[in-house]
Amino acid sequence: MHARPYNFYAGPAVLPQEVLEQAQSEMNNYGATGLSLMEISHRSPIYDAIHNETQLLFKELLQLPDEYHVLFLPGGASLQFSMIPMNFLTPGKVANYILSGLWAEKAIEEACKVGDVYVSFSGKANNFTKMPSLQDIQVHTQMDAYLHITSNETVNGTQLHHFPVIQDVPLIADMSSDILSRPFDISKFAVIYAGAQKNLGPAGVTIVILREEALPQHTTSLPAMLDYRTYIKHNSLYNTPPVYPIYMVNLVLKWIKHSGGLNIMEKRNEEKARLIYDAIDQSGGFYKGLAHPASRSLMNITFKIWNDELEKRFIQEASTQQLVGLEGHRSVGHIRASVYNALPYKACQALAEFMKEFQKRYS
Ligand SMILES: *Cc1c(COP(=O)(O)O)cnc(C)c1O
């Protein structure tokens, strides 16, 4: 393959080079069928093997207890913002949300269309620079249908470093931008979900990992495609699943497994993020991190430069040096370096070097 730029896009985002190469080599002849995987039935044994193996890889990497289902859904994490309340917010109960950033805000907006919602913690007054501490996360056992958290706020660059243990209220998490970046105890959660295009693969499939007994009984029936039970009952094959994105996720999971699993991912992610946070903290104020230090994300590193013009120049010059995708989200601006699992250490080294060199030239 040609030399590729270092890819700091927030999503869709960098994929492991090995994965792209394997997909390329199998593109028009998968498993000696003479056909592309995109051209064969989702009910064929060839696809079935990929489907089931992908579920098994999740089970293995996350050490999932038996009562959890791994589901493949369309519609992105955004559809989950609606499906979670449709399936879990029963009449007479209230959904409890942690408003930690832009994505949590969107999840709340959708839940409000379905039923009663309250926000038990809001970081809005702090401009979403801080995640709640464990003491800030409270539930009301009799009242709450569930508690919804966002493990990593992709736009704001904050991350929850500890998950609460909640008794008697299902804990639900949007893990779109940090799933499989570190080990965690899944048994605390009723549901976790993640769009694939940050840390798992290409856009087009959303992973939902769900404990079936946490699903409340419904008196009215939901449309089939919006009901988790449909996906459980049909093993996510009620309709045609996004077969190619699932195949790509399969390759990414194998890459994680062969790299050494989630402990290794976490260690690498810490080392990578440290390079860039150090460049910020050792710049004497030339660069300033946007997130409170205790809430800093290992996946999305947000920072600014004291002068707007310089910021534009930074992004522009970086791109000419093959460091791409550093613009902050349009709602926040400034600079954001997304450093997901698949981004190599040397990309972060190159960015940290560029930051130091840029500072020397412009301070
Ligand atoms: C990207 C993202 C989403 C939205 O994902 P879509 O797949 O575009 O719907 C939701 N939550 C978080 C945390 C994200 O990073």
Residues with C-beta less than 6 Å from any ligand 1 atom? 11, 76-78, 103, 150, 154, 174, 176-177, 195, 198
My answer on whether 231 and 354 are in the same domain is no
Is 129 within any annotated ligand binding site?
A: no
Distance of CA 245 to the CA centre of its chain: 15
- Full domain range(s) for residue 294: 260-362
Q: Which of 228, 259, 290 is the last residue of a domain?
A: 259
Identity of residue 29: N
| Residue 9: inside a domain | no
Residue that has been written with the tokens 């903290």 in this structure: 281
Instruction: Check pLDDT > 90 for residue 54.
Output: yes
My answer on whether 226 and 294 are in the same domain is no
Q: What's the Cα-to-Cα distance from 123 to each of 27, 99, 156, rounded to whole Å?
A: 45, 6, 11
pLDDT of residue 220: 75
Active site residue 103: yes
Active site residue 174: yes
Which ligand 1 atom sits nearest the alpha carbon of residue 77? Answer: 9
My answer on whether 140 and 268 are in the same domain is no
Over residues 315-323, mean pLDDT: 97
| Residue 6: inside a domain | no
My answer on whether 42 and 122 are in the same domain is yes
**Exposed/middle/buried for residue 201 (C-beta within 10 Å: 0-12, 13-18, 19+):** buried
Instruction: Check pLDDT > 70 for residue 270.
Output: yes
Separation between Cα atoms, residue 264 and residue 262, nearest integer Å: 5
Instruction: Check pLDDT > 80 for residue 174.
Output: yes
CA of 32 to the centre of ligand 1 (A): 36
Q: Which of 202, 227, 259 is the last residue of a domain?
A: 259
Count of domains for the chain: 2
Tokens for 327?
A: 């613009």
| Residue 183: inside a domain | yes
Separation between Cα atoms, residue 300 and residue 201, nearest integer Å: 17
CA of 108 to the centre of ligand 1 (A): 13
Over residues 70-94, mean pLDDT: 97
Q: Which of 211, 235, 259 is the last residue of a domain?
A: 259
Is 302 within any annotated ligand binding site?
A: no
| Residue 194: inside a domain | yes
Of the residues 102, 153, 176, 193, which should be mutated to test ligand 1's pocket, given the most ligand atoms within 8 Å of the CB?
Answer: 176
| Residue 53: inside a domain | yes
Instruction: Check pLDDT > 60 for residue 1.
Output: no
Over residues 277-295, mean pLDDT: 97
Instruction: Check pLDDT > 70 for residue 185.
Output: yes
| Residue 287: inside a domain | yes
| Residue 1: inside a domain | no
Residue 202 — very low, low, confident or very high, per pLDDT cuts 50/70/90? very high
Q: Which residues of 266-305 are buried (b: 16+ CB within 10 A; e: fewer)?
A: bebbeebbebbbebbeebeebbebbbeeebbbbbbbbbbb
My answer on whether 344 and 195 are in the same domain is no
* Tens digits of residue pLDDT in 205-230: 999 999 999 999 876 789 999 999 99
CATH code of the domain in which 120 resides: 3.40.640.10
pLDDT of residue 217: 86
Active site residue 185: no
Is 197 within any annotated ligand binding site?
A: yes
